[in-house]
Structure 1
């Protein structure tokens, strides 16, 4: 009995030792598994972090620009210098000669001048003239200058002049590798927006002002850029047209702007909304001779010293003008940015395709160029956006910027461009 008990006790002790050793081994293995898992997770996270940094550093997209006007060409330069673009494709339906020979004058305000100078635009080496921090030149000169800049960019730019953006272009864009951004800026009458599937609807924002415009082309004059001339608080005597309008003291008068080149002269009359007898008469009465003579007198009275006087016969034959006052509005496209997941393509609308006045101010190009001031940031945002949240955030950023720009133009644009000296 005692011998048997001794054997059983020895066996039990041995089993207990084996159990403890097994538990110790299991514990050691568990620790090893945990350490291995931690090492693997840490290695994965480190590798992913390094990969993400490399991917973010080298991430690039393709940008397609539609329209080679001042806004389109500037968009090409902004995109190429953003540091996030591998290639730019530019579509323009007219040829180079038609672009660089455009004669009409454009004017850049101080804010736009500073923006363009940061892009490397050297206004001092461009034909034109300065006045009150604004620069005036011919549209063809500016476009030719930007084309010369684009040819020297380090990023490849595929310039397709004389090539209209159409259905085949859309198919080509959809087959481009990687993410793509399309910038549509082919003007208020362009067809690119419709082809790209965005809404044609515009919102009309009142600028709380009335206006009228006139234009005169004098073929005997050279295309010399001229500074604008502004005159404030003008009142008109309409007695010669059977109107007994007498202005009440305190009523604000019209603001007049004369602008354009020596050959193509333009005039704009603007007045804040009011119910003065003069404003009511000029809004309601449709008398072409009355409006023609108002513009004729305004030009001959306030023209520059180098301008020739306009004769009655010249105004009668060649002056085009508004027959009466109309309400000034800013037209803003409802949809200016979208994203197509199937082709991984963003689309934004800029320039007159996105927003424009229904009156010439002489500084209209600035309305379009203002939208490009955040283009580089937007390109960076969409290049790095991989999740649905990041994509929506980038779209929201651009949409809010467009809305804010519209508000600023409605509130301050007309005042800055027309109503102040």
Structure 2
């Protein structure tokens, strides 16, 4: 019987080819891995290069404190190539705005990080609060924008109302664009830009009322606020109740605004005290006017003149009843429109406002801007639907958290303590 097999030489020859095949396989695998690594490395370098040079244009609607603060944030970003601001008022009308604005410590530290120098802004300090005229602050920011325009172009269009023709101009902008709407609660830009008009109201857990008085003979000097707590009122002369027994929580009083335009607020946490029920149901304008008058004359600054009854009768504007303090939030504050590669963001009172007195002289909307710089970075380089969604979600979550915090603690922080 014939036997089939391999000689030693044949075995050695076969093993040699097997080793060569294995070697070539390893070399091919190595080369493939090297090519893939080089491609991945090149792609990573390209992505970093592309992202480092990708820019976005920013449009701000409304040159109030929030709009101009937004512009400063955009100016500080390396991702912004140009800033355009639309303001319905003329410049002089803007910088001679009479109302006072107060910055709390958190807002002050944030604005300082953006280069705002409070030592060069006319105003006054009280503890960690800084009071100044809103027009003074806006003039300061306008000057900073002007000085920095050689680095990032900044065009400001005064006496320009935002309308559908303005939108057409924005949609024609080449490249990605962010539009920040900050034209207040009655502004039309959110609707024109396509944000949902629907808003929701939430109770802040308190009742309040507010009065305003203008004294034409005084100058508009920044003035610190005054807070007084646990006040009770005798309403028996108006068919209401006498003061509550000692230890019963009372009203918190706040006097704020500049020396010429003074505001007087009263607030109390939700409760069913007889005095609260009376002030919510009895419609007697003389009763509420006298409460405001006596509160102001008792707790005003020593340098302020007294308010006479006749002056209050003719010049004081006020709510005649206690009402429930609520915060309204726009249901949609950020959106992306793929067809024109445009993001839209609502800030300030365009996103949320209080029916009492927004911020009680303190502008809480500054806190909403603390996430704007990061949001600009995220949307500038967002090149997928997932990245766009992440950026929108980031801003929405931050706004929602601020909103919830204000509903829970805002009135207590700014008024009741």
1:167 aligns with 2:152: no
Q: Is the 8 A contact 2:233 2:243 kept in 1?
A: no
Cα distance in structure 2, aligned partners of 1:246 and 1:27: 98
**Which residues of structure 2 form unaligned runs of 5+?**
1-14
Q: 1:189 aligns with which of 186, 189, 196?
A: 186
Give the aligned partner of residue 114 of structure 1.
Answer: 109
Aligned CA distance change for structure 1 residues 247 and 363 (closer, same or farther; 3 Å): closer
After TM superposition, list the pairs within 5 Å mapping 1:330-369 onto structure 2: 330-360=327-357, 363-369=360-366
| Residues 146-184 of structure 1: per-residue CA shift (max 9 Å, x gap) | 000111222111111111222122122222122111111
Q: 2:65 aligns with which of 63, 67, 70?
A: 70
| Residues 116-140 of structure 1: per-residue CA shift (max 9 Å, x gap) | 1111111111111000111111111
After TM superposition, list the pairs within 5 Å mapping 1:13-412 onto structure 2: 37-153=32-148, 154-360=151-357, 363-412=360-409
Give the aligned partner of residue 10 of structure 1.
Answer: none
SS of equivalent residue, structure 1 residue 396: helix
Cα distance in structure 2, aligned partners of 1:385 and 1:337: 15
Q: Is the 8 A contact 1:106 1:363 kept in 2?
A: no
SS of equivalent residue, structure 1 residue 409: helix
Q: Is the 8 A contact 2:256 2:361 kept in 1?
A: no
TM-score scaled to structure 2, two decimals?
A: 0.91
Structure showing greater Rg: 1
Deviation at residue 402 of structure 1 after TM alignment? 1.0
Deviation at residue 91 of structure 1 after TM alignment? 0.8
Cα distance in structure 2, aligned partners of 1:306 and 1:337: 46
Q: Is the 8 A contact 1:208 1:273 kept in 2?
A: yes
| Residues 11-64 of structure 1: per-residue CA shift (max 9 Å, x gap) | xxxxxxxxx999999999877766665454333222211111111222211111
Q: For structure 1, which segment, 359-368 or 104-113, has the greater mean C-alpha deviation from structure 2 after superposition?
A: 359-368
Aligned CA distance change for structure 1 residues 262 and 353 (closer, same or farther; 3 Å): same
Cα distance in structure 2, aligned partners of 1:401 and 1:28: 57
Cα distance in structure 1, aligned partners of 2:81 and 2:243: 65
Cα distance in structure 1, aligned partners of 2:125 and 2:68: 22
| Residues 332-385 of structure 1: per-residue CA shift (max 9 Å, x gap) | 111111111111111111000111111126645522111101100111111121
TM-score scaled to structure 1, two decimals?
A: 0.91
Aligned CA distance change for structure 1 residues 304 and 246 (closer, same or farther; 3 Å): closer
Cα distance in structure 1, aligned partners of 2:17 and 2:363: 81
Cα distance in structure 2, aligned partners of 1:157 and 1:249: 59
Give the aligned partner of residue 4 of structure 2.
Answer: none
Cα distance in structure 2, aligned partners of 1:247 and 1:405: 36
Cα distance in structure 1, aligned partners of 2:370 and 2:241: 50
Q: For structure 1, which segment, 75-84 or 170-179, has the greater mean C-alpha deviation from structure 2 after superposition?
A: 170-179
Q: Is the 8 A contact 1:339 1:346 kept in 2?
A: yes
SS of equivalent residue, structure 1 residue 232: strand
Cα distance in structure 2, aligned partners of 1:22 and 1:303: 102
SS of equivalent residue, structure 1 residue 268: strand
Cα distance in structure 2, aligned partners of 1:364 and 1:381: 32
Aligned CA distance change for structure 1 residues 173 and 33 (closer, same or farther; 3 Å): farther
Deviation at residue 410 of structure 1 after TM alignment? 1.0
Cα distance in structure 2, aligned partners of 1:365 and 1:63: 26
Q: For structure 1, which segment, 154-163 or 251-260, has the greater mean C-alpha deviation from structure 2 after superposition?
A: 154-163
